[in-house]
């Protein structure tokens, strides 16, 4: 299933072995993999994820040599295509387009959701970001930027860019959440412990950090105090050990990357971002609670307002898009 010229190029990339040992074994394994990919069952062809990933982990230059040039691909009604490139001695800019052929899943908020991969046979830094959206063509354009130091490895090298999923219809919401009456906030009625934490932050090294065994707010009975935007809910507020806790729930962060934060604004317009925050999973391991802790007295709190900034989405598109191009 692989053109012979790619086999010859790949074999030429394997270092010549003068001594037996580990290097010889690795080289033989690579040669066997190439042989299997060429003559064995089609399910282990180099284009498959398993065969390619195994070889790439051992010899990146060999793996890239075996990849045939493919400037465009279509999956799940979305077309991805290499449309332009500019290569210099130390960097390259490559433009990739993604177009929806069947619907309106591509828009100005399209986010590759950290699902993209840029594979190249040389050491370099590489990034990808959206730089343009054409509503009439339902097309988003992404810029891949690569920087390197050794141009000898660049000439004729092939780069593979792949995407597994993307978000769209993302919304940004920010504003005061005045449905929370801060003058009536007292001690938390119920707390929970032994949560499954997934991260957190703090602003002072001397603060006693919260962990899985710390006390957190138990979400209110109906689960919602207020919901400023779809996908975000305020689920608890109250004092624990003299510190104010405000709990926000982000629905399905796994698929939609819903996120954001809240802070307090005093009567003079001053901001209080809190001294620390902790995020922990819901029971299904899909949504996330984020609890922010503020060092503020009830008297000071009564003169404040809650302000929130959130980013949400309700559209996830999955697929298998991959293009391979040569840098000449």
Q: What is the pLDDT of residues 159-182, one digit of tens each?
A: 999 999 999 999 999 999 999 999
Q: What is the mean pLDDT of the chain?
A: 85
Residue 188 has pLDDT above 90, yes or no: yes
Q: What HEC string does the chain produce?
A: CCCHHHHHHHHHHCCCCCCCCHHHHHHHHHHHHHHHHHHCCHHHCCCCHHHHHHHHHHCHHHHHHHCCCECEEEECCEEEEEEEEEECCCEEEEEEEEEECCCCCCCCCCECCCCCEEECCCCCEEEEEEEEEECCCCEEEEEEEEECCCHHHCCCEEEEEEEEEEEECCEEEEEECCCCCHHHCCECCCEECCCCEEEEEECCCCCCCCCCCCCEECCCCCCCCEEEECCEEEEEEEEECCEEEEEEEECCHHHHCCEEEEEEECCCCCEECCCEEEEEECCCCCCEEEEEEECCCHHHHCCCEEEEEEEECCEEEEEEEEEEEEEC
State the Cα–Cα distance between residues 140 and 79, nearest whole angstrom. Answer: 11
Q: What is the dihedral of CA 120, 123, 127, 128, to 10 degrees?
A: -10
Residue appearing with tokens 């891949």: 144
Model pTM score: 0.74
Residue 1 has pLDDT above 80, yes or no: no
Section 289-311 average pLDDT: 96
More confident residue, 311 or 155: 311
Q: Taking a C-beta distance cutoff of 8 angstroms, is the pair 114, 108 a contact?
A: no
**In order of start, what are the domains of the chain with their CATH numbers?**
4-66 (no CATH), 72-170+316-327 (2.60.40.1630), 172-312 (2.60.40)
Residue 226 has pLDDT above 60, yes or no: yes
pLDDT value, residue 26: 59
Q: What percent of the chain has pLDDT over 70?
A: 76
pLDDT value, residue 19: 46
Residue 228 has pLDDT above 70, yes or no: yes
> Which token pair is 245?
């806790």
Number of residues written out for the chain: 328
End-to-end CA distance of the chain: 25
């Amino acid at each position: 299933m692989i053109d012979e010229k790619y086999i010859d190029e790949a074999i030429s990339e394997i270092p010549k072995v003068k001594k037996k040992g580990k290097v010889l074994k690795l080289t033989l394994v690579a040669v066997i993999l190439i042989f299997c990919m060429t003559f064995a069952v089609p399910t282990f062809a180099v284009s498959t994820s398993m065969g390619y990933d195994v070889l790439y982990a051992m010899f990146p230059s060999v793996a890239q040599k075996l990849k045939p040039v493919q400037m465009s691909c279509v999956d799940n009604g979305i077309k991805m295509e290499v449309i332009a490139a500019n290569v210099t001695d130390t960097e390259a800019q490559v433009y990739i387009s993604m177009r929806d052929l069947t619907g309106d899943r591509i828009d100005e908020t399209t986010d590759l959701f950290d699902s993209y991969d840029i594979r190249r046979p040389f050491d370099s830094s590489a990034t990808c970001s959206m730089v343009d959206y054409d509503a009439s063509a339902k097309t988003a354009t992404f810029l891949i930027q690569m920087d390197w130091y050794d141009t000898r490895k660049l000439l004729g090298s092939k780069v593979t860019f792949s995407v597994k999923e993307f978000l769209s219809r993302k919304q940004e919401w920010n504003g005061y959440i005045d449905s929370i009456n801060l003058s009536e906030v007292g001690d938390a009625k119920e707390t929970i412990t032994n949560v499954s934490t997934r991260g957190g932050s703090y602003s002072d090294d001397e603060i006693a950090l919260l962990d899985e065994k710390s006390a957190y707010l138990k979400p209110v009975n109906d689960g919602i105090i207020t919901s400023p935007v779809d996908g975000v809910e305020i689920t608890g507020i109250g004092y624990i050990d003299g510190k104010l806790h405000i709990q926000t729930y982000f629905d399905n962060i796994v698929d939609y990357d819903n996120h954001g934060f809240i802070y307090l604004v005093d009567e003079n317009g001053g901001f209080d971002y809190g001294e620390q925050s902790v995020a922990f999973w819901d029971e299904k391991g899909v949504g996330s609670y984020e609890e922010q802790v503020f060092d503020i007295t009830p008297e000071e709190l009564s003169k404040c307002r809650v302000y929130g900034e959130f980013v949400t989405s309700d559209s996830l598109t999955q697929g298998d898009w991959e293009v391979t191009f040569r840098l000449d």
